[in-house]
């Protein structure tokens, strides 16, 4: 038996879509259809949770609730949230081809992990409809996981609750939470892993926590990049992450370090 049996990855911001731009742009476009302007900071505030819950939190923000009332003459209700969720799904699916490029070092890292006999599972805040499209597109670009689970697979109990991780473990036949590493780019990912009792690792570059597109990050000076990385590292560490990586190429070294410490 492998000492580390599974790595459970997040998708956008972790292995594809540097900066989670598909989600950010889709939320901005969604509310613009209702005449409401929102900024990136608000869209990223609840990143990583189930998309319907994300919409619920956004529309519950006092400023958005006020603007919604001004535009519609009514307080937002659950029916509005369902309609917004349906429309969000339509918008983001059209962005997947553009925003599904593998992040740097991802394919090489995933190959290394697989070669060592470790399963690659995943959890996601995307819906089944979104994932069915994204999985095919990402697969064409060389990114494939052994399994993905979303909140629909666990009766709606998505991040930061632990059940998507447990479902991965069940389906992959993993023997212990001590043999699992959860890797993600948001505080919600880290909390999900902590709640499941698994090892957690945050990815800095291209993360939603950093909140920058690849182009914007490359415009920074080396000193500015270091400052941004330190800011995000502190957020992950405060959230309780066991490990924090600048990028995912460090993951095989973390696995080797863990296995050297573990009893066979």
Of 51 and 154, the structure prediction assigns the larger pLDDT to 154
10 counts as catalytic? yes
Task: Over range 237-263, report the average pLDDT.
Answer: 94
pLDDT digits (tens, 9 = 90+) for 88-115: 999 999 999 999 999 999 999 999 999 9
Annotated active-site residue in 17, 50, 51, 185 = 51
Looking at the domain 21-93, which fold is it? Answer: DNA polymerase; domain 1 (1.10.150)
Residue 51 annotated as catalytic: yes
Q: Where are the alpha helices (DSSP H) in 73-209?
A: 78-93, 106-115, 128-140, 163-172, 187-196
Domain ranges of the chain: 6-20+100-261, 21-93
pTM more than 0.85? yes
Looking at the domain 6-20+100-261, which fold is it? Answer: Rossmann fold (3.40.50)
Residue that has been written with the tokens 């291209």 in this structure: 206
Which DSSP state fits 103?
Answer: P
**Whether the Cβ atoms of residue 60 and residue 78 lie closer than 8 Å to each other:** no
Q: Report the distance separating Cα 91 and Cα 74, nearest Å.
A: 24
Round to the nearest angstrom and report the end-to-end CA distance of the chain: 8
Average pLDDT of the chain?
95
Equal CATH topology for 6-20+100-261 and 21-93: no
Say what the pLDDT of residue 264 is.
46
**Which is the catalytic residue, given 10, 189, 205, 242?**
10
pLDDT at 159 over 80: yes
**Angle made by CA atoms 236, 199, 145, in degrees to the nearest 5:** 95
Sorting pLDDT into bands at 50, 70 and 90, what band is 50?
confident
């Amino acid at each position: 038996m492998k000492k580390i049996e599974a790595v459970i990855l997040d998708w956008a911001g972790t292995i594809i879509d540097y900066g989670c731009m598909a989600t950010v742009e889709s939320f901005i476009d969604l509310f613009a259809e209702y005449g409401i302007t929102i900024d990136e900071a608000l869209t990223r505030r609840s990143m990583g949770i189930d998309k319907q819950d994300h919409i619920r939190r956004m529309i519950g923000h006092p400023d958005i609730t006020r603007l919604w009332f001004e535009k519609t003459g009514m307080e937002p209700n659950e029916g509005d949230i369902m309609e917004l969720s349906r429309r969000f799904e339509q918008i983001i699916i059209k962005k997947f081809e553009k925003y599904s490029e593998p992040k740097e070092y991802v394919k090489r890292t995933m190959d290394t992990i697989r070669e060592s006999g470790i399963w690659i599972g995943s959890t996601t805040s995307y819906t089944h409809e979104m994932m069915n499209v994204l999985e095919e597109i990402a697969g064409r670009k060389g990114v494939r996981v052994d399994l993905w689970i979303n909140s629909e697979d666990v009766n709606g109990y998505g991040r930061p609750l632990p059940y998507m991780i447990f479902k991965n473990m069940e389906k992959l036949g993993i023997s212990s939470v001590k043999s699992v590493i959860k890797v993600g780019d948001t505080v919600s990912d880290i909390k999900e892993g902590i709640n499941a009792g698994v090892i957690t690792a945050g990815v800095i570059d291209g993360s939603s926590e950093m909140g920058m597109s690849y182009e914007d990050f490359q415009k920074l000076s080396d000193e500015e990049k270091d400052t941004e990385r330190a800011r995000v590292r502190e957020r992950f560490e405060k959230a309780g992450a066991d490990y924090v990586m600048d990028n995912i190429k460090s993951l095989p070294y973390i696995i080797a370090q863990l296995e050297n410490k573990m009893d066979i």
